[in-house]
A and B are shown apart, each in its own frame.
Chain A
């Protein structure tokens, strides 16, 4: 029997970008081994971590993710020889950029999980879910989405009235 699921006030949405050769297989192994891990993580499969563009991470945050996990093969194990080496440099730079823009880096995690590391996958996902649950929802990008451009702000009573009178 499964243990009864604990009820939480906040269930974070976590998007994980994984490489098909290592981490996806690792997550699969966790599943077939019947290990339990939080269902907060949405797995998106890519051919390689080298295919994961920083724009995808940005897009995930914009679409309402509270956390993002990027995971792939250990260095040296890449199916395409060097994809994860290139990704490593790119993400190192991207992290610094996001930090400078003011994104909390605790919401973005990177890991190497091989096809044999089902246990590590469970550990990484559980850890990230719990830490993001403690941090609460990611509001920065969501707020941006609802905000209007400065020229679109209904700052004056006349503008507001004109806007409201639109049938």
Chain B
């Protein structure tokens, strides 16, 4: 459905010439930091085995810094490697991390939740025109048709507040906000229609929990959804438990999600999970004026309160 909408739009290539200079800048900066010993590791991307792919890489010696790249295939949110769930990386000491604008939002969120200190990490930001969405072939260049949905509405192409910014962007094409349109379409439906929409999607879920594993904010050492005494959420991949899992996941991320859409990318069943995250972000903005940003906030919207909060729904 989403892919269909993308195909209707004319396919024009997006200028990613700055990615080459970004790669150079990242390599130089990583080599410098590692040589002078101010960081013990650099978390970045390197080429995958197949041409045109990329994978996360942790570089610990200056010679290997030349392996780092930035390309439209650098889809991962590397902030994941700095959470408590990945303790071994942080143990080594101060690290540098390559981050797109959306990843910096996640880093800011982690700092706001005291999972990370700003002085513990060197942020090598990248000026990013967008990365490829799911279903894009490995060899093809970035176009207006295969760009990830989140990048269509990106507001942080050139992020602020990082230690360095690699590359600089020329003008970017105006893209239709497909996800916002889809959200508006769903909101206009009746509750029964929305229920059948989500039921259809959630009943396909195989509960691989990739959405949880890939989320920088799902860092709890014991997820409440894994507990069985008492069992809050049925663990088998059946419709009842799936519905509960996705509601609980969206609820636990509301007010925290940085909209990196990694959950949606990692989902093997193509469930539009980011729609739920988007919806909650939108509601929390309306209710409490909260928006995920590049600066850490001490408290999220659901961790604080005001005495005059809206209570029109309470009798």
**Chain A: residues with CB nearer than 8 A to chain B?**
53-55, 58-59, 62, 75-76, 82, 85-86, 88-104, 109-112, 124, 140-141, 144-145, 147-150, 152
Contact = CB atoms under 8 A, between A and B. Distances in A.
Nearest to B269: A150
B279 A88 contact: no
B120 to A, nearest CB: 29
Contacts of B184: none
Contact of B251 (A85, A88, A93, A147): A93
A106 B20 CA distance: 56
Given A96-B283, A144-B240, A149-B203, A101 B194 contact: yes
B287 A149 contact: no
B307 A150 contact: no
Interface stretch (B31-39, B57-65, B100-108, B185-193): B185-193
A98 B247 contact: yes
A89 B193 contact: no
B315 to A, nearest CB: 4
Contacts of B315: 109-112, 124
B280 A55 contact: no
B302 A90 contact: yes
A102 B196 contact: yes
A92 B303 CA distance: 13
Q: Chain B binding site: helix, strand, loop or mixed by DSSP?
A: helix
B191 A104 contact: yes
Contacts of B194: 100-102
A62 B195 contact: no
Q: Chain A binding site: helix, strand, loop or mixed by DSSP?
A: helix
15 contacts: A54-B251, A55-B224, A75-B311, A89-B305, A89-B309, A91-B313, A92-B287, A93-B280, A96-B279, A97-B247, A99-B191, A101-B198, A110-B313, A111-B315, A124-B315
Contacts of A144: 199, 239-240, 243
B232 interface: yes
B89 interface: no
Contacts of B248: 54-55, 58
Contacts of A111: 314-315
Given A55-B233, A103-B191, A94 B314 contact: no
Contacts of A110: 313-315
A143 to B, nearest CB: 9
A140 B313 contact: no
Interface in B255-294: 255, 276, 279-280, 283-284, 287-288
A86 B197 CA distance: 31
A99 B163 CA distance: 42
Contacts of B73: none
A152 B306 CA distance: 48
